[in-house]
Amino acid sequence: MAVHGVHLNEHELQAMAAKGATLVHCPASNLKLASGIAPVAAALKAGVNVVIGTDGAASNNKLDLWEEGRLASLLCKGASGDATAFSAGELLKSMTCNAAKALGADHLIGRIAPGLQADLITIAIGEAAHQLPNHNLVSKLAYSGASRDVKHVWVAGVQVVQSQQLVGKRAQLVGEIMRKTQRVWQTRVEKVG
């Protein structure tokens, strides 16, 4: 995996494609740090597996993958001068199937199919002004969708989020670990700042 990849040239993209490597595009982090913009259109054209990442909290305070995806697609269009580059469909694929492939887990996750883990989300559609108009579901998910629209989550068939709240012992444990980690880092930041 090449994370960020803002300085990849055509030769390197061809080599990545030949080896089955993945470009992890982290646009908000790259913009915040003024690092550059990954050549996503060229990577896709070369056949590189492109996925979306957030990097870490030090360079991307929000860590919202949905927002990151929208930004990635729009940046690709703007940087390439091609409004059809990194389409809504390609974006959603990069956040699902391509991500599973990058992890070497596409035989288990990344799509809904018999024999794969039941990793699913439900999304509230048409309930908020930011989702209107409702003319194309794929486009709506890519460009109007937001993480706050996710209502329920199942991992391997086990519901871990219900009505936007963590449920189940495992999910509650993860929530507690996240809260403890946040408190530790908050204390460290306060001491430095």
Residue 95 clears pLDDT 90, i.e. is over it: yes
pLDDT, residue 38, reads 96
What is the C-alpha to C-alpha distance for residues 19 and 181, in angstroms, rounded to an integer?
37
pLDDT band per the 50, 70, 90 thresholds, residue 193 = low
pLDDT of residue 192: 80
Checking if the pLDDT of 121 tops 70, the result is yes
Q: Which DSSP string corresponds to 81-130?
A: T-TTSS-HHHHHHHTTHHHHHHTT-TTTSSS--TTS---EEEE--SSSGG
- Alpha-carbon torsion (153, 175, 92, 94), positive or negative: negative
